[in-house]
Amino acid sequence: MAGDNRDEYDDDDVPFTKAELDLSMDNVIVVDNLPVVPPEKVEKLAGILLKLYSKIGAIVEDGDYNGLHMPMDDEKGMSKGFAFIEFVDKKSAVMAVEQTDGHKLDKNHVFSVCRFPEFHRIVNVPDQYEAPQPPQYKERGNLREWLLDPKARDQYVIRYTDESEIYWNDTVDVKESDRLVFSRKKWTDTGHQWSPHGTYVVTFHRPGLRLWGGQNFEAAGRFMHNNVKLVDFSPCETYLVTVTWADRASDKEEENAIIIWDVRTGEKKRGFKNDGAKDKPVEPFKWSHDGKYFAKIADESIQVYSTEDFKLLDKKSFKLPGVKEFHWSPSQNIMAAFVPGSGDGQTPARVVPSRKELRQKNLFSVSDIQMHWHPDGTYLCVKVDRQKSKKTTTYSFELFRIKERDIPIEVLEIKDSVVAFAWEPKGHRFCLVHGEQPRPDISFYTMLKEGKAAVSLLKTLEKKPVNELFWSPMGHHIVLAGLKNLNGMLNFYNVDEMESMNEDEHFLCTDLVWDPTGRYVCTYVSAFRQPMENGYTIWNFAGRPQLRTAKDKFFQFLWRPRPPSLLTAKQEKEIRKQLAEYSQRYTEEDRKAKELAETAHLREREAKRKTFEEGEAIRKQLYMQWQEERRELRGCLTDDEDLYEFVEETFEEVLEVKEERI
Amino acid sequence: MRPILLKGHKGPLTCVKYNKDGDLLFTTCRRGGVNLWYSDDGERIGTYNNHNGAVMYVDVNFACTRLATASMDATARIWDVETGKVLREFKTQAGNRCASFATGDKRLAVLTDPWGDQPCCIQIFDTESGDSPVMRIPMDVGVAKATRALWGPLNKKILVSNEAGGILSYEAATGECLIERCDFEQEIPDFTYSQDMMTFIVASKDHTAMLYDTNTLEPIRKYVSDRPINSAAISPLMDHVVIGGGQDASAVTTTAGRSGRFQALFYHKIFENEIGSVQGHFGPINSLAFNPDGRSFTSGGEDGYVRVHHFDPEYFSLE
């Protein structure tokens, strides 16, 4: 037995691997445009090169052989004017190319350096230029077809287990199969994302991502970026940014951590390297509202790039030593930046592209800062946390009126800790959650007091189980939600009337999303955060549940965004005026649709009942057929046919008749 | 609807069953023990003590004179309902999962677990005499373990459910498997007949329950829920079925109590839609039964409680 065991060890424990010769020559570079020198000067030149390159990385040295080879032209007795340098590793080779390509040895000799594998490619370029065939024009169809829906319904995508499904949101009782627009198993590896105007839906795959659009969600673009982690669109859907980073520090680094693509042509516009640690998330770019600029923080400055040429705007970055955070205005090319100082901080607002500082405010003894732009860009709120002593922190809000002359600032002091802050979209109010968890207070403020610019408190709701705020994208309504550890308490609140429209609960709900029109809200329990109760509920703005769906392993719910309205403010006002008329029309339509759905529903039930009763009749007949046999088996007549109808019979029998004379 | 809580067992319930008249209720427990209660007010009448292991199933005969129990102590017994005396004791080679009286009470079908290299086996005993079975119907070797074996109408067939989600029909005279179908993805813990035995409802761990035609063994309706189903019953009065179960007992403590889904769910028998739920158990429901008059139902849970629910008058005005 012992021998057997050893045999087994021999087989199993020694892995058989074949050593492979590294023939890639990734670590070799070619240095061209060297001076042509006679043999006696070769050594001197080699010395210069070695000195230059050994600073960058270790050059192979193995006895007589060193990594530098300068070929000689035997006929002329001179050097050929180029050299090969072999580094120990690939990384040094890459760095050497980066650092010394274009290095000036003297006036006439500018180095042209490339890596050896690339040299091959360059040599193989044919001398004659051949124009590539222009690709066949493909009709893309109407990518905004969904907006033409006669009922003006919205769409949403859901993902559960490995299924992806896109539905119409229809509140009139319509069957799931009728609302389904598109479904596909294993459509994406990790998740979905809509483009900002809703034209495309993104699917993620290991080698890159794909866009899908049009009526039947045909493929509308493919962007190869290995192991892509994040995707970001420019606000006008013109450009697409893909971001990746290595999963582990030991992984091979992508050469382009960030790539900017043209959405329509699929052309790669520019790649960016990863500046930080290679296994950390790359800081993505922030886009200006019109998609003309994109910026990020790097080296004590804000680097702003223009989409005209994808280069640094005016070839220089905004120097802001110590800058920690910045945000673009959602409506102007203005950005707000926060520069913490030693013990104090300042929040200047700066203008692009004129680089002028619009307004700056110094704040002292700041521990943290958060900036919130109003969605219309009219206001900027800066939440300032100040550490007064070890235990007490005070909170205040610096409110900037961006659209007014000189940008006046107002300060609002809040005594308790602030849990959440949210601006009212298309309005002038904001909402605050402050106080002790888990039942903090909620306050509504307005930026306009009786039409004049002054911050004033509207109302405070005391002790509510709320930790997150969700304004309707149209303003006026807000959902005060207690998600996650508050088990999904929802309060649908009308801010105009300052009254709660409905309070309800979606047990364990983890996320809440408003549809783009502000008519419906979806709450869902995502399997990412919660293993039980997965599914989603759609409510109307007033908090009446419209649809409840439970799905195991439910991950994602995303409303399809809409492009900005083409109506002018005036036209919108006009419509608002005639709202009563419209609402009458739509109510009528809804009523009809509901009636139709109900009759369909009834008909379906009728059919179900009919088929069931047919089967039931057969069974009943069989049951009666078996009666005789059953009674025989039981040996008694107490059968249960009478279970179906109880017949009560009274028997009267005259037993005796007696006549008595009284 | 205020349920009556019956606290008479020390462990998880395995089976609850009404007698024919609906005035008595029998319950069995995994820790051993069979209880008899008045189904109307929940007063305990007595216990049937003698088993040395979990009692898995109980069946009461038509006349309500005899009680059959299947136990994991490798016996099946027939008791006198009134006195609680053991009339017959059948020794089997392994634990028993199910015991069922044939119509006329002459035969008892006992489902025995696999032992050694022997597969599951239906053993048919004579209720009057003889200690060894008059017939054995072994399941095929390698086939999933059977969970229930119940006589069909007129003692012609024996229906068997198994852990692979299959329903099998055996001819009682020959022991031959006539029909085999697999409509479920996971284990079938229980199935129960309608009162006339012309239909039966099957509960499955794959979150669904299905109504079958007993004669053809064709599925008629399917009830889809969001939890593993352990038991189901058909209302004799209304077009309703009740199904129950819940998150597996081993996973219960990992989440919020409310999300365990231990309610009994009512579905419309014909339209397959959920019409209501009754909560109360704090562990999965293991067994459900309707009173033969259809005016009350009983659930037995993993939590050790039996809950007897008498319906409110409003219930009967439902469709």
DSSP string, A118-178: HHHHHHTS-SS--PPPPPPP-----TTGGGG-TT---EEEEEETTEEEEEE---S---HHH
Whether residues B271 and A605 touch (CB distance < 8 A) is answered with yes
Beta bridge partners of A456: A446
3-state secondary structure A21-43: CCCCCCCEEEEECCCCCCHHHHH
Above pLDDT 70, what percent of chain A?
A: 90
pLDDT in tens, A85-112: 888 888 888 888 888 887 887 888 888 8
**Residue A197 and residue A449: Cα distance in Å, rounded?**
35
Q: Which of A634, A645, A646 to mutate to test the interface with B (most CBs of B within 10 A)?
A: A634
Spell out which residues of chain B touch residue A610, defining contact as CB-CB under 8 Å: none
| Overall average pLDDT of the A307-336 stretch | 83
Lowest mean pLDDT of A351-355, A567-571, B86-90, name the range: A351-355
Nearest by CB: A615 against B154, B213, B247: B213
Tell me the shortest Cα–Cα distance from B118 to chain A, in angstroms.
33
3-state secondary structure of A562: coil
Residue B252: per-residue pLDDT: 54
**Residue A194 and residue A561: Cα distance in Å, rounded?**
7
Tell me the shortest Cα–Cα distance from A644 to chain B, in angstroms.
9
Interface contact B21, partner A, CB < 8 A: no
Spell out which residues of chain B touch residue A636, defining contact as CB-CB under 8 Å: 63
Residue A28: per-residue pLDDT: 84
Whether residues A626 and B155 touch (CB distance < 8 A) is answered with no
Spell out which residues of chain A touch residue B198, defining contact as CB-CB under 8 Å: 619-620, 622-623
Which of B 179-208 lie inside 8 A of A, CB atoms?
195-196, 198-199
Interface of A with B (CB under 8 A): 487, 507-508, 531-533, 550, 552, 605, 608-609, 612, 615, 619-620, 622-623, 626, 629-630, 633-636, 640, 643
3-state secondary structure of B202: strand
What is the architecture, at CATH level 2, of domain B1-11+196-318?
Answer: 7 Propeller (2.130)
Interface contact B52, partner A, CB < 8 A: no
| Overall average pLDDT of the A517-531 stretch | 90
Quote the pTM value: 0.69
Mean pLDDT: which of A62-66, B225-229, B257-261 is highest?
B225-229
Edge-to-edge strand ranges of the sheet holding A163-168:
A180-185, A163-168, A155-160, A554-559
Residue B44: per-residue pLDDT: 94
Angle CA(A166)–CA(A172)–CA(A176) in degrees, nearest 5?
Answer: 35
**Residue A418 and residue A436: Cα distance in Å, rounded?**
9
Residue matched to tokens 């006895």: A63
Whether residues A633 and B271 touch (CB distance < 8 A) is answered with no
Tokens representing B107?
């035969």
Confidence of residue B83 (pLDDT cuts 50, 70, 90): very high
Peptide bond before residue A353 is cis, with ω within 30 degrees of 0? yes
Whether residues A619 and B103 touch (CB distance < 8 A) is answered with no
Residue matched to tokens 């205020």: B2
Tell me the shortest Cα–Cα distance from B247 to chain A, in angstroms.
10
pLDDT in tens, A181-212: 899 999 998 889 999 999 999 999 988 889 99
CA-based nearest residue in chain A for residue B207: A552
Tell me the shortest Cα–Cα distance from B53 to chain A, in angstroms.
32
Nearest by CB: A619 against B62, B102, B199: B199
Spell out which residues of chain A touch residue B195, defining contact as CB-CB under 8 Å: 640, 643
Tokens representing A277?
């640690």
**Residue A519 and residue B200: Cα distance in Å, rounded?**
46
Q: Where are the domains of chain B?
A: 1-11+196-318, 50-182
Spell out which residues of chain B touch residue A643, defining contact as CB-CB under 8 Å: 195-196, 236
pLDDT in tens, A548-577: 888 888 999 999 999 988 888 899 889 889
Tell me the shortest Cα–Cα distance from A161 to chain B, in angstroms.
15
Angle between helical axes of A39-54 and A90-100 (0-180°, round to 10) = 110
CA-based nearest residue in chain A for residue B220: A612
Interface contact B153, partner A, CB < 8 A: yes
3-state secondary structure of B171: strand
Whether residues B256 and A532 touch (CB distance < 8 A) is answered with yes
Nearest by CB: A634 against B104, B198, B226: B104
Nearest by CB: A507 against B155, B196, B258: B258
Whether residues B270 and A508 touch (CB distance < 8 A) is answered with no
* Closest CA relative to residue A418, chosen from A460, A448, A385, A462: A385
**Residue A299 and residue A18: Cα distance in Å, rounded?**
46
Spell out which residues of chain B touch residue A633, defining contact as CB-CB under 8 Å: 102-104, 154-155
Asked, colleague to colleague, whether B1-11+196-318 and B50-182 share their fold, the answer is yes
Whether residues A634 and B226 touch (CB distance < 8 A) is answered with no
Beta bridge partners of A110: A104
CATH superfamily of A28-122: RRM (RNA recognition motif) domain (3.30.70.330)
**Residue B36 and residue A390: Cα distance in Å, rounded?**
68
What is the architecture, at CATH level 2, of domain B50-182?
Answer: 7 Propeller (2.130)
Gap between the terminal Cα atoms of chain A: 117
pLDDT in tens, A225-235: 888 888 899 99
Whether residues B255 and A532 touch (CB distance < 8 A) is answered with yes
Tell me the shortest Cα–Cα distance from B220 to chain A, in angstroms.
8
Confidence of residue A350 (pLDDT cuts 50, 70, 90): low
| Overall average pLDDT of the B24-52 stretch | 93
Residue A15: per-residue pLDDT: 57
Residue A452: per-residue pLDDT: 79
Confidence of residue A48 (pLDDT cuts 50, 70, 90): confident
CA-based nearest residue in chain A for residue B198: A619
| Overall average pLDDT of the A30-59 stretch | 83
**Residue A380 and residue A403: Cα distance in Å, rounded?**
10
**Residue A201 and residue A221: Cα distance in Å, rounded?**
10
* Closest CA relative to residue A447, chosen from A354, A384, A392, A381: A381
Spell out which residues of chain A touch residue B215, defining contact as CB-CB under 8 Å: 619, 622
Residue B65: per-residue pLDDT: 93
Whether residues A633 and B258 touch (CB distance < 8 A) is answered with no
Most distant CA pair in chain A, distance:
166
Spell out which residues of chain B touch residue A532, defining contact as CB-CB under 8 Å: 247, 255-256, 259
**Residue B258 and residue B255: Cα distance in Å, rounded?**
8
Taking only Cα atoms into account, the Rg of chain A, rounded to an integer number of angstroms, comes to 37
Most distant CA pair in chain B, distance:
55
Tell me the shortest Cα–Cα distance from A613 to chain B, in angstroms.
9
Whether residues A609 and B213 touch (CB distance < 8 A) is answered with no
Tell me the shortest Cα–Cα distance from A651 to chain B, in angstroms.
24
* Contact pairs from chain A to chain B, CB under 8 Å: 56
ipTM of the predicted structure? 0.88
pLDDT in tens, A120-136: 777 777 778 888 888 77
Spell out which residues of chain B touch residue A508, defining contact as CB-CB under 8 Å: 256, 259
Nearest by CB: A623 against B196, B236, B258: B196
Nearest by CB: B154 against A619, A633, A640: A633
Interface contact B46, partner A, CB < 8 A: no
Does the structure show a pLDDT above 70 at B103? yes
3-state secondary structure of A662: coil
Beta bridge partners of A448: A453
Does the structure show a pLDDT above 60 at A497? yes
**Residue B64 and residue B81: Cα distance in Å, rounded?**
7
| Overall average pLDDT of the B67-93 stretch | 94
Spell out which residues of chain A touch residue B63, defining contact as CB-CB under 8 Å: 636
Nearest by CB: A619 against B198, B259, B270: B198
Q: Where are the domains of chain A?
A: 28-122, 145-187+416-564
Spell out which residues of chain B touch residue A533, defining contact as CB-CB under 8 Å: 259
